[in-house]
Amino acid sequence: MEGDKRRTKEDTWKSEELRKHLRASQPDSQNEDQKHREKKLQKEKSVHDTGTHKHERKDRGKSKERTRERFKSGERDKMREREGGKEHQRGRDRERYKDKLQGSSLEKETYIVPKAKDRESDRERDKKHKRHEVKQIDTQNNLKSFEGRDKEHHRRRESRHHLEEEKTRSEERERRHREKKDNDTKKSIDKFLAYKVEEGERVHRLQKDQELDKEGERRHREKQGHSVRPGKERLSKERSHKHYEKEEEEEHKSKRYKEGSSHRDKEQPAEANERVKSREKERKKHDLRNSEHKKEESVQEEMSHQRVRTVKDKGKLIEKEERDTRQEEMKDTCIYNSDVGFDNFSANYEDDFEDYEDDFDDDEDKSDEERDAEENLREILFSRTSEIEEIQRAISAENDRICISLPKKIENEKKEPIMERQYPSVRNSFCGIFMDFQMANQRQSSRSMASKQKKRSSELLPLIDLDFSVSFSLLDLPPVNEYDMYIRNFGKMNTKQAYVQCNEDNLERDIQTEEVETLEKWTQHPGESALVSGGPINSQDVSVNGALTPKIDSQRLANFLRSACQVIAVLLEEDQVATQPTWKLRSQQTGLSISDSCFRLNTNQPFLHDRKISCLHVAQVQRQTLLSVHGLPEKAGVGLLSRKSIICVWNIWQPSSPQKVLICDSEVMCCCFSPNKTTLVFAGTIDGSLLVWDLREDSRMHPHVMIGETDWTFRVPTFSTDGILNSVNHTSPILAVESVSTSLYTDQNYGLSSLSYQEEMSGPPFQIASMDENGVLNMWVVVELQKVDLAGSQTDLGLIPGGKVKLVHSSTMELNNSLFTKDVRQRMPQILTVKFLSSNPNHFIVGTNIGLLGHGTRHDLKVLPKLFRPQESGLRSISINAIDFFPFGKPLFLVGCSDGSIRLHQMTSEYPLMQWNDSTNGQPVIALQWALTRPAVFFVLDASSNIYIWDLLENDLSPVAKQTIPSENVVTMALLGEPEKTNGLLGIALAKGSGQIDIQYVKKKWALPQPEESEKLYLILLQSF
CB of 474 to other proteins, least distance (A): 5
CA distance 805 to 680: 9
Determine which residue in the list 249, 297, 772, 796 makes contact with other proteins, applying CB under 8 A.
796
Binding to other proteins by CB under 8 A, coded x per residue (else -) over 482-521, reads --x---x-----------x-xx------------------
Q: Decide if residue 479 touches other proteins (CB under 8 A).
A: yes
Using rule CB under 8 A, residue 783 touches other proteins: yes
Distance in Å, CB of 780 to other proteins, minimum: 9
By beta-carbon proximity to other proteins, the closer residue of 438 and 727 is 727
Contact 853, 882 (CB under 8 A): no
The interface region with other proteins, picked from 794-802, 894-902, 914-922, 1004-1012 by CB under 8 A, is 794-802
Q: Does 913 bind other proteins (CB under 8 A)?
A: no
The Cα 481–Cα 402 span in angstroms is 78
Contact flag: residue 240 with other proteins (CB under 8 A)? no
What angle separates helix 169-178 from helix 211-225, to the nearest 10 degrees? 90
**Residue choice 475, 498, 636, 638 for contact with other proteins (CB under 8 A):** 475
Interface residue with other proteins among 536, 763, 891, 1009 (CB under 8 A) is: 891
* Amino acid at site 935: P
Q: Are 93 and 386 in contact (CB under 8 A)?
A: no
CA distance 602 to 650: 10
> What residues form DSSP beta bridges with 809?
780
The residue (of 145 and 679) whose beta carbon lies closer to other proteins is 679
Task: Establish if 745 lies at the interface with other proteins (CB under 8 A).
Answer: yes
CB 292 to other proteins: min, Å? 56
Total residues at interface with other proteins (CB under 8 A)? 51
DSSP string covering 910-929:
SS-SEEE-STTTTPPEEEEE
Residue 9 found at the interface with other proteins (CB under 8 A): no
Identity of the residue numbered 423:
Y
Closest approach, Cβ 740 to other proteins, in A, equals 8
Please say whether the beta carbons of 888 and 871 come within 8 A. no
- Return the range that interacts with other proteins (CB under 8 A); candidates 119-127, 161-169, 467-475, 1000-1008: 467-475
Phi and psi (nearest 5°) for 680?
Answer: -125, 140
User: Looking at 270-278, 575-583, 629-637, 746-754, which segment touches other proteins (CB under 8 A)?
Assistant: 746-754
Q: Which residues of 137-158 are buried (b: 16+ CB within 10 A; e: fewer)?
A: bbbbbbbbbbbeebbeeeeebb
CB of 685 to other proteins, least distance (A): 23
Q: In the bound complex, what is the minimum distance in angstroms from residue 748's beta carbon to other proteins? A: 10
Residue pair 643/664 in contact by the 8 Å Cβ criterion: no
Span of 3-11, 99-107, 228-236, 477-485 interacting with other proteins by CB under 8 A: 477-485
Among 235, 752, 761, 797, binds other proteins (CB under 8 A): 752
**397/779 with CB nearer other proteins:** 779
Q: Is 659 exposed, middle or buried (0-12, 13-18, 19+ CB in 10 A)?
A: middle
DSSP-derived pairing of the beta strands 970-977 and 704-707? unpaired
Report CA dihedral (615, 949, 621, 744) to the nearest 10 degrees. Answer: -110
The least distance separating other proteins from the CB of residue 471, rounded to whole angstroms, comes to 8
For other proteins, the binding residue among 767, 879, 946, 963 (CB under 8 A) is: 767
Q: Least distance to other proteins from the beta carbon of 563, Å?
A: 30
In the range 681-740, which residues lie near other proteins by CB under 8 A? 726, 728, 740
Q: Going along 696-792, which residue ranges are E strands? A: 704-707, 710-715, 719-720, 734-740, 767-772, 776-784
Closest residue by Cα to residue 612 from 991, 981, 921, 965? 991
Residue 884 CB neighbours (<10 A): 18
Residues linked to residue 647 through DSSP beta bridges, in sequence order: 629, 662
Closest approach of other proteins to the CB of residue 745, in Å: 6
By CB under 8 A, tell whether 746 contacts other proteins: yes
Nearer to other proteins, 20 or 488 (CB): 488
Q: How far is the CB of 840 from other proteins (least distance, A)?
A: 5
Amino acid at residue number 762: S
Residues 425-464 as x/- pattern, contact with other proteins by CB under 8 A: ----------------------------------------
Residue 377 or 466: which CB sits closer to other proteins? 466
753 binds other proteins (CB under 8 A): no
- CB-nearer residue toward other proteins: 516 or 861: 861
Query: 925 to 944, contacts with other proteins by CB under 8 A?
Result: none
Least gap, CB of 770 to other proteins (angstroms): 15
Could you tell me the smallest distance in angstroms from the CB atom of residue 764 to other proteins? 9
CA distances for 982 relative to 101, 620, 784, 960, 977, angstroms: 99, 17, 36, 22, 10
CB contact at 8 A, 173 and 204 = no
- Within 10 A of 636 (CB to CB), how many other CB atoms are there? 8
Residue placing its CB nearer to other proteins in the complex, 639 or 889: 889
Q: Among residues 564 and 725, whose Cβ is nearest to other proteins? A: 725
Q: Which among 177-185, 602-610, 744-752, 945-953 is the span making contact with other proteins, rule CB under 8 A?
A: 744-752
Residue 461, C-beta contacts closer than 8 angstroms, at least 6 positions apart: 8, 11
| Shortest CB 477 distance to other proteins, Å | 4
Residue from 473, 494, 582, 1023 binding other proteins (CB under 8 A): 473
Out of 287, 387, 467, 1012, the residue judged to bind other proteins by CB under 8 A: 467
Segment 167-226, which members bind other proteins (CB under 8 A)?
none
Do residues 676 and 760 make contact, with C-beta atoms less than 8 angstroms apart? Answer: no
Question: For residue 409, what are the CA distances in angstroms to 103, 404, 513, 759?
Answer: 22, 9, 89, 85
Of the candidates 300, 302, 307, the residue with the CA atom closest to the CA atom of residue 101: 300
First vs last C-alpha separation in the chain: 80
767-772, strands of its sheet edge to edge: 734-740, 767-772, 776-784, 805-814
Closest approach of other proteins to the CB of residue 481, in Å: 6
Which one of 117-125, 402-410, 521-529, 764-772 is the stretch in contact with other proteins (CB under 8 A)? Answer: 764-772
Q: Cα–Cα distance between 978 and 229 in angstroms, integer?
A: 94
Asked if 13 touches other proteins (CB under 8 A), the answer is no
Q: Which is nearer to other proteins, 496 or 859 (CB)?
A: 859
Which pairs from 634-639 meet CB under 8 Å and 24+ separation?
A: 634/610, 635/610, 639/705
Work out whether 907 is an interface residue with other proteins (CB under 8 A): yes
How open is the CA angle 756-758-760, to the nearest 5 degrees?
105
- Taking residue 208's Cβ as centre, other Cβ atoms within 10 Å add up to 13
Neighbour-count burial for 481-494, b at 16+ CB within 10 Å, e otherwise: eeeeeeeeeeeeee
To other proteins, the closest distance from the beta carbon of 1018 in angstroms equals 15
The window from 387-395, 509-517, 692-700, 775-783 that contacts other proteins (CB under 8 A) reads 775-783
Please tell me whether residue 314 binds other proteins under the rule CB under 8 A.
no
Which residues inside 801-860 make contact with other proteins, applying CB under 8 A?
808-812, 837, 839-843, 858-859
The least CB distance from residue 506 to other proteins, in Å, is 10
Q: Could you list the residues that contact other proteins (CB under 8 A)?
A: 466-467, 470, 473-481, 484, 488, 500, 502-503, 726, 728, 740, 742, 745-746, 749-750, 752, 765-767, 779, 781, 783, 793-796, 808-812, 837, 839-843, 858-859, 891, 907
